[in-house]
Amino acid sequence: MRCRLKIKGKLELGQQVHFGTDAYIDIQGVATLGSKGYYNDHVRIVCHQHIEIGSNVLVASGVSIYDHDHHVSFGENGNLNFDGYDCAPIRIGNNVWIGEKSIILKGVTIGDNVIVGAGSVVKHDIDSNWMAAGNPCRPIKPLNTSEKGG
């Protein structure tokens, strides 16, 4: 299994956390990944400030989670200048499934018992007990977490 771990900050892992092939984890701030988490192939987690992910979270292939944006400006000569990062914490609850190739952006809170559809761009909070999808991601239907599967 090939994973790239770049830890300059603090990474806290719960029990039974698994990473797929070619996962890229870059932690410069503080990141907490709860127990029984599965982070599939090609997952990217880049933390400059704070990312907190609960327990029993399934992150599908190709998902990206970024707690920052690049801060840029145009100089007097009209050239694009990189001026650092704009950061805001990400919080993802327990019992969450994030679909393939979704992107979770800075400042987002995803509640407990949430399903995020494949290819979603999450730039706003998602309350607990919802299925959400789209670009931008938005609630699609409530989830009845009291129902038992058959």
Among the residue ranges 70-74, 110-114, 129-133, the one predicted with the least confidence is 70-74
pLDDT tens-digit map of 1-12: 688 899 999 999
Confidence of residue 130 (pLDDT cuts 50, 70, 90): very high
Give the span between the Cα atoms of 33 and 51, in whole angstroms: 8
Confidence of residue 150 (pLDDT cuts 50, 70, 90): very low
Write out the two tokens for 104.
């979770």
Ordered by start, the domain boundaries in the chain are 3-142
- CATH 1.10.287.3510 is right for the domain spanning 3-142: no
Quote the mean pLDDT of the chain.
94
Instruction: State the average pLDDT over residues 131-140.
Output: 97
Active site residue 50: no
Q: Among residues 18, 42, 50, 68, which one is catalytic?
A: 68
pLDDT of 138: 97
